[in-house]
Structure 1
């Protein structure tokens, strides 16, 4: 295990990865945040802000009297945030939490990649204002299934390469089963009113959501090849993902929340 975050926002596929994540999960994320009552004047921290879609939505919700802090290891995809939002480079693993209290802290598909993820939850809970919400959303990638396929060969190549991608992520420190533990972890951090929800959608071949898997295969291509996956299999995998006759379920998304 090398404990390194496996993706790079400065890489060429990063924009595709971010837009695919937004297409896949923004609707669910926005619904949960609205249900928690995010509103005017709130101070929010969007951790691992990626392409910035959640930070921009939060900025709309908190209005001119509120503020959204959007942090990431690389902020180049966070250009043009609204006036009531700011982008700051920040490494939550190595640096102290920002010196303020937050009404909401949200992170999506961030902590799953870090071996010290449980300790980081406690760190984030400590940055909440009294009554503030911590909302964490993580995926269960091995819960993804093939729903439609033009032939068994397409399903076989998908399962083979996608399985090797998940193997790489696990060896890098990701815990692909951690999402299911979110309620217990949030409660263990001393939060109250803990709840969670699990959602799954369809990712049709060639659609905006399934581009996440293609972008991952591009970004991790060198590591996959070094791990013994032939380049032609990676190309086959991408052709399967582009085939409209092929459909998989999304990575199941677990949304968990708790209140200080």
Structure 2
């Protein structure tokens, strides 16, 4: 089943940049805390764009290795230096590399129907002592685009967000997967498991992400009877006019653990 937010659409690049602005800082705070540095061998799963791969390359240097994979590598460019780019489906294919110091995936497993197999594949690629860091949004923990629903504009925004979740669920997405990550890492035998949540609310990147997402799924919202064209237009106009200044993302759950040495 095709991914709802197709990388081939023009809005994908806008979404990747907004996601990077929102989530790269907490992602790299965690990776830095784990000691990612010179000489590390890393695999970025479902990379999408270049934000995280480039950040990893800056940390591992010329003596390190970064593999960036995705089922669609359109936004990743070509391999160069320590960065290698590879088309790969983590849900159906074996690990393309092994003996890794770090495997990182963000906003991937929620959308992969074979998510259990994908997680096992990532674990299998780690060396003893290697770290797995998985980050997934959990809309069930906070399902609203506008947590402060004080007017008709916010009510419409939240109705469209509910429709977006319905479309995601219809494509085998697990919208409560984030909260299960710590348990799943322990079930795979990882040790020193930890987790934390990050919940952006109010900011230009949240607004940019919302506009790009709605534009990308507009046809499916209308075709599925979730909203009319006029309602989508009204929502986008509300965003553009600043009538929805406090747009939230779903909480991002980050979980990490390592293979016992």
- Return the offset for 1:139: 0.6
Count of aligned positions? 255
- Can you give the 5+ residue segments of structure 1 that lack an aligned partner in the other structure? none
| Counterparts of residues 40-189 of structure 1 (less than 5 Å) | 40-79=38-77, 83-142=81-140, 143-145=142-144, 146-147=146-147, 152-189=151-188
Contact 2:91 2:115 in 1 (8 A): no
Contact 1:48 1:107 in 2 (8 A): yes
- Can you give the 5+ residue segments of structure 2 that lack an aligned partner in the other structure? none
State the secondary structure of the residue aligned to 2:68.
strand
State the secondary structure of the residue aligned to 1:172.
coil
Distance 1:81 1:253 in 2: 29
Task: Give the TM-score normalised by structure 2.
Answer: 0.92
Contact 2:200 2:206 in 1 (8 A): no
State the secondary structure of the residue aligned to 1:70.
strand
Contact 1:41 1:65 in 2 (8 A): yes
Contact 1:52 1:78 in 2 (8 A): yes
Task: Give the TM-score normalised by structure 1.
Answer: 0.92
Contact 2:138 2:175 in 1 (8 A): yes
Q: Which moved more, 1:116-125 or 1:249-258?
A: 116-125
CA RMSD of aligned residues (A): 1.7
- Return the offset for 1:24: 1.1
Q: Which moved more, 1:236-245 or 1:118-127?
A: 236-245
- 1:221 pairs, out of 202, 218, 221, with 218
State the secondary structure of the residue aligned to 1:210.
helix
Distance 1:147 1:225 in 2: 24
Give the match for residue 26 of structure 2.
28
Work out whether 1:208 is the aligned partner of 2:205. Answer: yes
- Return the offset for 1:144: 4.5
